[in-house]
Amino acid sequence: MRRDAVERSKLILETAERLGYRPNASARAMKSGCFNAIGLVQGFDVRRSNLPDELLVGVHQTVLKFNQHMVLARLPDEKLASTGFVPKILRELMVDGLLVCYSHEIPTGMIELIREHAIPSVWLNVHQEFNSVRPDDIQAGRLATEHLLRHGHRKIAFCDFEHDEAFMFGPLSHYSLRHRYEGYCQAMKEAGLPTRLILGPKRREESEFPQPPVRLDWLEESDHPTGIVAYGGWGLLRVALRAQEKFGDLRAISMVTVNSRVQICEDIAIDTVILPQQQIGREAIELLQKRIQDPLKSIPSRVIPCELRAGFSVKKA
């Protein structure tokens, strides 16, 4: 009997497949009351809501584990600012929760819109106490600095070649810049060393030309820094090339940066504090499951530590 049943169910499954039967996800959703879907909300502007590939990989892997799928909602930034526009993903019921990816200049009303509609949501890379996941940028700054200190450097500067001071301490900058700088300052203070902040002229839109030159004047000082902790970006190449010119060595200035992956600069792999993007994606989805289960309960944000990956851009001082 039992044996019979097993065989029969097997036959049924085979026949179903042969006939190309596929269960209807909508019907199942309606019955079960949940969509098995997570919405990913971001803007059209990449810089507003940058989503590194590594993070997406983490997200997809985890979503797969929960047998969910992702619904992508890329929202037109201008329309969102204007009155009354509500994107489809908020207007209709179609996902169980939202992953919100706005790190810079979050569109007006986005936050209220999401709260009003009471959809369980988790934010990526924003500095808020609850319901978000982000890397520990303070620790990242520390790690980078301590790495240079371990190599005997004493004159270490923190550099961001792409932003000026007004921007860095203004309302439009991302907290990660200030946090990494803070971590750098902490490490320097603990080592009893003075801090130094080197900022650049503000660069223009990426597609614009010409860009203002990267600030390299500090390299001309007799007592110039021997190591730098960089916020990111491509300025490091210019530093290396200038070092090549001046000291005959691309690696004359030791450099550490913070990034999602190791960046190659003139065939030199940069020593990098790796942002744990994949893990961030994973934990964000896991956090979101909890929020879906109990939408009213806010959950403390998760702050994920970073790891240093040594390259070839740091020498003994």
Please report, as ranges, the residues that interact with DNA according to CB under 7 A.
1-2, 4-5, 22-24, 27-28, 30-33, 93
| Closest CB to a second copy among residues 100, 149 | 100
Site string for a second copy, 213-242 (x = CB under 8 A): x---------------------------x-
Instruction: Confirm or reject binding of residue 13 to a second copy (CB under 8 A).
Output: no
Residue 77's identity, in one-letter code, is D
CA distances from 233 to 15, 24, 61, 81, 123 (A): 56, 46, 28, 29, 24
Partner from a second copy, DNA, none binding residue 190, C-beta < 5-8 Å depending on class: none
Give CA–CA dist 89/98, Å, rounded: 9
Site string for a second copy, 164-193 (x = CB under 8 A): ------------------------------
- Which of the residues 272 through 301 are near a second copy (CB under 8 A)? none
Q: Tell me the sheet residues that pair with 211.
A: none
Tokens of 234: 């491509």
DSSP state of 173: S
- Per the omega criterion (within 30 degrees of 0), is the bond before 276 cis? no
| Closest CB to a second copy among residues 198, 310 | 310
Instruction: Please count the other Cβ atoms lying within 10 Å of the Cβ belonging to residue 234.
Output: 14
Which of 48, 76, 251, 304 binds a second copy (CB under 8 A)? It is 76
Tokens of 237: 């190449």
Report the nearest approach of a second copy to the CB of residue 25 (Å): 4
- Which of the residues 31 through 70 are near a second copy (CB under 8 A)? 35, 37, 40, 44, 46, 53, 56-57, 60-61, 64, 67, 69-70
| Residues counted in the chain | 317
Give CA–CA dist 240/203, Å, rounded: 19
Report the nearest approach of DNA to the CB of residue 21 (Å): 7
Which of 5, 19, 27, 296 binds a second copy (CB under 8 A)? It is 27
| Closest CB to DNA among residues 93, 191 | 93
With helix as H, strand as E and coil as C, how does 198-226 read? EECCCCCCCCCCCCCCCCCHHHHCCCCCC
Report the nearest approach of DNA to the CB of residue 25 (Å): 8
Residue 73: helix, strand or coil by DSSP? strand
Instruction: Confirm or reject binding of residue 116 to a second copy (CB under 8 A).
Output: yes
Instruction: Confirm or reject binding of residue 89 to a second copy (CB under 8 A).
Output: yes
Report the nearest approach of DNA to the CB of residue 233 (Å): 47
CA distances from 23 to 29, 35, 38, 60, 95 (A): 11, 14, 19, 22, 18
Tokens of 24: 């209807």
Closest listed residue to residue 37, CA positions, set 118, 87, 97: 97
Q: Which residues bind a second copy (CB under 8 A)?
A: 20, 22-30, 35, 37, 40, 44, 46, 53, 56-57, 60-61, 64, 67, 69-74, 76, 88-94, 116-118, 206-207, 209-211, 213, 241, 261-262, 264, 267, 269, 311-312
